[in-house]
Amino acid sequence: MPSKNKLRAYALVHSAGAYSAGDHASLQAAAALASEAGGEAHALLLCTAANVAPNVLAAQQARVDSVSVFTLPESESPLQPQQVADLFASLLANTEPDTDDAGDGVASVIFVSAGTIAEEAAGAIAARIDALPLGRPLRMTPDEQGILHVVRSGFGGRLEIAQRVTAARCIAAVRAPGSADEPARNEGREADAAVRTLPCPPLAPAYPVTMGASGENEANLEGARLIVSGGRGMGSEKGFELLREVAARLDGATAGSLPAVDAGWTSVSRQVGQSGKYVSPAIYLAVGISGTPQHLAGIDPHTRIIAVNNDPDAAIFGVASVGVVAAWEEFLPALLEALPASGSASPAS
């Protein structure tokens, strides 16, 4: 019977500006996996000086075994993904070798918190350190031999694919657990990780970039408690103007499905789904959205979906908790008429 493989989990955290709990999802995932596998968890942080203390605290509270920090120079421009990848690859190069003192293999599982820049950087890090990119796994479990078993979503969310990973190094993006998820599994771990600060190596030059006007003056999707989203069934950009008005009345944000983005009715930065943003508002008001697995994959399972669709057989009604069968052209103006004036729906803060 083969001896048990050893496992080392790394959490990569890049925090230069404002940060949220979602930025620390990698810490929770690394500590949980290490706890389950009886292995080690290490946090590797890229922070500006002002952000070192809270991020170190977050890492210690996640009960990792060690914290290594690169303190970034203050800059008006955020790091670009290839620069983030360079720095993390450099930090990872300073970590333990892939074998232990006895010469036995140690598998490294590297986590980043899900997000566009982090995931782009993760792909580049994987190439730099010869790690296997695993995308955004749904579940990761070590078996008794220490082999990692991963379940991934594939084929537009239509299949869950179970894989056995024997790579010496792999990298995955993880999301912050929802409020109703199991608590982090970091039992038996201490919150006293040693911290070492390393000199930050020189950054490679960033790609020159010119910023233009966005033309957008809407609430961010991230952190929105209520999202009003439109799909192919909206038929035109005109419907999205009404959706924006509904969202503004309710202090919410707007979003769209892939076909709506494709049609140019809303921006790609507001695309929700397997290929777009993952959102976890309390309410997701889906208008003219059929409810494909690809779209639903971008909505937290704990979010309450309210669906408006003129097709009573639309799949969205199978996952919605409240439904309205109506044409948006008639329904949205009536809804706007029934809603309180802008801002009065929420208590003053």
Residues 323-342 that bind other proteins (CB under 8 A): 323-326, 330-331, 334-335, 337-340
Nearest-5° Cα angle at 252, 248 to 256: 100
> Which range binds other proteins by CB under 8 A, 7-15, 27-35, 182-190, 204-212?
204-212
Closer of 48 and 303 to other proteins (Cβ): 303
- CA 210-216-222 angle, to 5 degrees, is 100
* Binding segment (CB under 8 A) for other proteins, from list 20-28, 38-46, 96-104, 208-216: 208-216
Binding of residue 213 to other proteins (CB under 8 A): yes
How far CA 223 is from CA of 20, 59, 154, 283, in Å, comes to 9, 22, 26, 12
Minimum CB separation of residue 10 from other proteins in Å reads: 16
Residues 7-36 that bind other proteins (CB under 8 A): none
Q: Residue 200 Cβ, how far from other proteins at the closest point, in Å?
A: 20
- Please give the residues from 255 up to 274 whose contact with other proteins meets the rule CB under 8 A: 258, 261-264, 267-269
Interface positions, 57-86, toward other proteins (CB under 8 A): 81-82, 85
Nearest to 257 by CA among 325, 187, 178, 315: 315
**Cβ of residue 31: shortest distance to other proteins, in angstroms?**
23
From first CA to last CA, the distance across the chain in angstroms is: 62
Q: Smallest distance from the beta carbon of 55 to other proteins, in angstroms?
A: 21
- Please give the residues from 168 up to 197 whose contact with other proteins meets the rule CB under 8 A: 170-171, 173
Distance of CA 313 to CAs 298, 316, 317, 325, 328, Å? Answer: 22, 8, 7, 9, 16
Least distance from other proteins to the Cβ atom of residue 187, Å: 26
# of chain residues touching other proteins (CB under 8 A) = 101
CB of 119 closer than 8 Å to CB of 107: no
Tell which positions 99-158 bind other proteins, by CB under 8 A. 116, 119-128, 130, 132-136, 149-150, 152-158
CB 271 to other proteins: min, Å: 8
**Closer Cβ to other proteins, 69 or 297, answer by number:** 297
Q: Check if the beta carbon of residue 244 is closer than 8 Å to that of residue 219.
A: no
Q: Rounded to a whole number, what is the largest CA-CA distance in the chain?
A: 73
Exactly one of 161, 191, 194, 198 binds other proteins (CB under 8 A); which one?
Answer: 161
Separation CA 79–CA 272 (nearest Å): 25
Is position 219 an interface residue for other proteins (rule: CB under 8 A)? no
Contact pick of 73, 164, 202, 341 for other proteins (by CB under 8 A): 164
Question: Shortest gap between Cβ of 117 and other proteins (angstroms)?
Answer: 9
Q: Contact between 346 and other proteins (CB under 8 A)?
A: yes
CA distances to 28, 234, 245 from 15, in Å: 16, 38, 34
Cα 154 vs. chain centroid, distance in angstroms? Answer: 17
| Shortest spacing between CB 70 and other proteins, in angstroms | 19
Do 82 and 204 form a contact (C-beta atoms < 8 A)? yes
Q: What minimum distance in Å lies between the beta carbon of 88 and other proteins?
A: 12
To which H or E segment does residue 142 belong? strand 139-142
Q: How many CB atoms lie within 10 A of CB 65?
A: 19
Answer for which of 16, 71, 283, 310 binds other proteins (CB under 8 A) is 283
The answer to whether 98 and 65 have CB atoms below 8 angstroms apart is no
